[in-house]
Amino acid sequence: MNQQTIQTAPNTVQEWWKTGIIYQIYPRSFQDSDGDGIGDLRGIESRLDYLVDLGIDAIWISPIFPSPMTDFGYDISDYRGIDPMFGTLEDFDRLVAATHRRGLKLILDFVPSHTSEKHPWFVEARSSRTSARRDWYIWRDAKPDGSPPTNWISEFGPSAWTWDAGTGQYYLNIFLSEQPALNWRNPEVQAEMLDTMRFWYMRGVDGFRVDAITHVAPDPDKGDHPPNPAWRAEMNPSQRFLKVHSKHQPAGFDYVRMMRQVTEEFPDRVLIGETDGELKEVMAYYGADFDAFQLPFNFTLQDAPWELPEIVRRIEAYEAALPEGAWGNWVLGNHDCARIASRAGPAQAAVAATLLLTLRGTPTLYQGDELGMESAVIPPEAVQDPWEKQVPGLGLGRDPARTPMPWEPGPTHGFSNSQPWLPVFVPVEGDAAAQRADPASMLNHVRALIVLRRKTPALTLGSYETITAQDGVYVFARHLDGDSYHVCLNFTDTPRPCPVSGEVVLSSYVHEGDGAAHAGQIAPHGALILKAG
Ligand code: NOJ
Ligand code: MG
Using 50, 70 and 90 to split pLDDT, how confident is the model at 7?
Answer: very low
- What per-residue confidence (pLDDT) applies to 228? 97
Tell me the residue range of the domain where 501 lies. Answer: 462-531
Determine the average pLDDT of the residues in 334-352.
97
Mean of pLDDT values over 191-201: 98
Write the residue with the smallest CA distance to atom 10 of ligand 1.
Answer: 74
Do the domain assignments include residue 499?
Answer: yes
Residue 325 covered by a domain: yes
Instruction: Please indicate, yes or no, whether residues 289 and 323 belong to a single structural domain of this protein.
Output: yes
pLDDT score at 11: 42
> Does the CB atom of residue 387 touch ligand 1 within 6 A?
no
Confirm if 19 and 336 have CB atoms less than 8 A apart. no
Residue 520's pLDDT is what? 86
| Residue 455 covered by a domain | no
Specify whether 30 is located in the same domain as 130. no
Ligand 2 centroid to residue 84 C-alpha, Å: 9
- 421: domain CATH number is 3.20.20.80
Question: How sure is the predictor about 1, in pLDDT bands with cuts at 50, 70 and 90?
Answer: very low
Check whether 294 has a pLDDT greater than 50.
Answer: yes
pLDDT of residue 519: 65
Percent with pLDDT over 90 in the chain:
94
Q: Are residues 287 and 430 in the same domain?
A: yes
Res. 514: pLDDT tops 90: no
Spacing, Cα 211 to ligand 1 middle (Å): 6
Q: Indicate the pLDDT class of residue 14, thresholds 50, 70 and 90.
A: confident
pLDDT at residue 512, as a whole number: 46
Residue 177 lies in a domain: no
Q: Grade residue 5 by pLDDT with cuts at 50, 70 and 90.
A: very low
Q: Do residue 133 and residue 274 come from a single domain? A: no
Three-state SS across 175-207? CCCCCCEECCCCHHHHHHHHHHHHHHHHCCCCE
Of 3-7, 184-188, 377-381, the poorest mean pLDDT is in 3-7
Whether 259 lines ligand 1, by a CB cut-off of 6 Å, is: no
| Residues within 5 A (CB) of ion ligand 2 | 32, 34, 36, 38, 40
Q: Examine residue 71 and state whether it is found in any structural domain, yes or no.
A: yes
| Residues 137 and 284 placed together within one structural domain of the fold | no
C-alpha 110 – ligand 1 centre gap (Å): 11
* Domain count across the chain: 3
Q: What pLDDT, in 10s, does the model give residues 298-315?
A: 999 999 999 999 999 999
- C-alpha 327 chain-centroid distance: 17
β partners of residue 271:
208
- Check if 188 is active-site: no
pTM of the model: 0.96
Is 134 among the domain residues? yes
Q: Which of 387, 419, 446 is the last residue of a domain?
A: 446
pLDDT recorded at residue 497: 95
**Of the ligands numbered here, which is closest to the C-alpha atom of 302?**
1
Q: State whether 392 and 308 are in the same domain.
A: yes
Query: Domain holding 513: CATH number?
Result: 2.60.40.1180
Q: Are residues 402 and 274 in the same domain?
A: yes
Q: Where are the alpha helices (DSSP H) in 384-509?
A: 386-390, 432-437, 442-455, 457-461
Q: What is the mean pLDDT of the chain?
A: 95
Catalytically annotated residue among 49, 188, 265, 307: 265
Whether the pLDDT of residue 516 is over 50: the answer is: no
Atom index in ligand 1 nearest the CA of residue 111 equals 11
Check if 71 has its Cβ closer than 6 Å to any atom of ligand 1.
Answer: yes
Question: Domain check: are 31 and 140 in the same one?
Answer: no
- Going from the C-alpha of 176 to that of each of 82, 190, 446, 470, the distances in angstroms are 22, 22, 37, 45
Kindly state the average pLDDT of the residues 183-199: 98
Give 252-291 pLDDT, tens digit per residue.
999 999 999 999 999 999 999 999 999 999 999 999 999 9
370 and 476 within one domain: no
- Is the same domain home to 321 and 356? yes
Q: Categorize the per-residue pLDDT at 10 as very low, low, confident or very high, splitting at 50, 70 and 90.
A: very low
pLDDT of 409 strictly over 60: yes
| pLDDT of 509 | 72
Q: Whose CA is closest to 247, among 292, 277, 283, 203?
A: 277
Q: Is the pLDDT of residue 457 over 80?
A: yes
pLDDT of residue 518: 57
Give the CATH number, domain containing residue 157: 3.90.400.10
Residue 71 CA: which ligand 1 atom is closest? Answer: 7
Say whether both 58 and 165 belong to one domain.
Answer: no
Stretch 158-167: mean pLDDT, rounded?
Answer: 98
> 510: pLDDT confidence band, cut at 50, 70 and 90?
low
Residue 284 lies in a domain: yes
**Same domain membership, residue 237 and residue 333:** yes
As a whole number, mean pLDDT of residues 64-81 equals 98
Sheet holding 329-331, edge to edge: 295-296, 270-273, 207-210, 105-110, 58-61, 22-25, 362-366, 329-331
Residue 40 among the catalytic residues: no
Asked whether residue 178 is domain-assigned, the answer is no
